[in-house]
Chain A
Amino acid sequence: MIEFTMPALGADMEEGTLNEWLVAPGDTVARGDIVAVVETTKAAVEIECFHDGVVGELLVPVGETVQVGAPMATLLSPGETAPPRTSTTPSAAPVATPSAAPMATPSAAPAATPSAAPAAVPSATEPPHRRWVSPAARRTAESLGVDVMTVTGTGPQGAVIISDVEKAAASAKKPEPTPVAAPATKPKPKPAAAADRASQMRKAIAAAMGRSKREIPHYYLMHEIPLEKALTWLTEHNAHRSITERLLPAVLQLKAVGLAAQRFTEFNGFWRDDNFVPASGVHVGVAISLRGGGLVAPAIHDVPEKKLDELMSDLTDLVARARAGSLRSSEMSDPTITVTNLGDKGVDAVYGVIYPPQVALVGFGKPAQQVCVVDGGIRVVTAMQATLSADHRASDGHRGGLFLAEIDQLLQQPDVLEK
Chain B
Amino acid sequence: MTQDDIRGAVLSVLTTIAPEVEADDIRDDALLRDQVDLDSMDWLNFLVGIHKRFQVDIPEADYATLRTLDDVVRYVGARQHS
B47 cross-chain contacts in A, Cβ below 8 A = 243
With A248-B40, A343-B39 as contacts: A242 and B57 at CB distance below 8 Å: yes
Instruction: Please encode chain B, from 34 to 66, with 1 for each CB lying within 8 Å of some chain A CB and 0 for all others.
Output: 000101110011011001000001111100000
A244 touches B51 (CB 8 A): yes
- Docked Cα-Cα span, A161 to B19, in Å, equals 10
A161 cross-chain contacts in B, Cβ below 8 A = 19
Which B-chain residue is minimally distant from A238 (CB atoms)?
B60
- Docked Cα-Cα span, A344 to B33, in Å, equals 11
A345 touches B33 (CB 8 A): yes
Which A-chain residue is minimally distant from B39 (CB atoms)?
A343
A239 touches B39 (CB 8 A): no
Instruction: Please encode chain A, from 227 to 261, with 1 for each CB lying within 8 Å of some chain B CB and 0 for all others.
Output: 00000000100110011101011100000000000
Which A-chain residue is minimally distant from B41 (CB atoms)?
A319
- Docked Cα-Cα span, A226 to B48, in Å, equals 29
* Shortest Cβ distance from residue A191 to the other chain B in the assembled complex, whole angstroms: 14
With A243-B51, A319-B41 as contacts: A186 and B58 at CB distance below 8 Å: no
* Shortest Cβ distance from residue A152 to the other chain B in the assembled complex, whole angstroms: 15
Residue of B15, B19, B45, B61 contacting most chain A CB atoms (<10 Å): B19
Residue of B20, B40, B58 contacting most chain A CB atoms (<10 Å): B40
Which A-chain residue is minimally distant from B8 (CB atoms)?
A184
B41 touches A316 (CB 8 A): yes
With A291-B19, A291-B20 as contacts: A315 and B41 at CB distance below 8 Å: yes
Which A-chain residue is minimally distant from B52 (CB atoms)?
A244
Instruction: Please encode chain A, from 23 to 61, with 1 for each CB lying within 8 Å of some chain B CB and 0 for all others.
Output: 000000000000000000000000000000000000000
* Shortest Cβ distance from residue B68 to the other chain A in the assembled complex, whole angstroms: 15
A186 touches B23 (CB 8 A): yes
Residue A338 at the B interface, CB < 8 A? no
* Shortest Cβ distance from residue A183 to the other chain B in the assembled complex, whole angstroms: 10
B48 cross-chain contacts in A, Cβ below 8 A = 243-244
B18 touches A246 (CB 8 A): no
B15 touches A186 (CB 8 A): yes
A345 touches B39 (CB 8 A): yes
B59 touches A248 (CB 8 A): no
Contact of A246 among B15, B37, B60 (CB under 8 A): B60
A244 cross-chain contacts in B, Cβ below 8 A = 48, 51
10 cross-chain CB contacts under 8 A? A161-B19, A239-B59, A242-B51, A243-B47, A248-B40, A289-B39, A291-B19, A316-B41, A320-B45, A345-B33
A-B residue pairs, 3 tightest by C-beta? A343-B39, A238-B60, A344-B40
8 further contact pairs, Cβ within 8 A, besides A242-B51, A343-B39? A161-B19, A163-B19, A186-B15, A244-B48, A244-B51, A250-B41, A291-B18, A343-B40
Interface of A toward B, CB cutoff 8 Å: 161, 163, 186, 235, 238-239, 242-244, 246, 248-250, 289, 291-292, 315-316, 319-320, 343-345
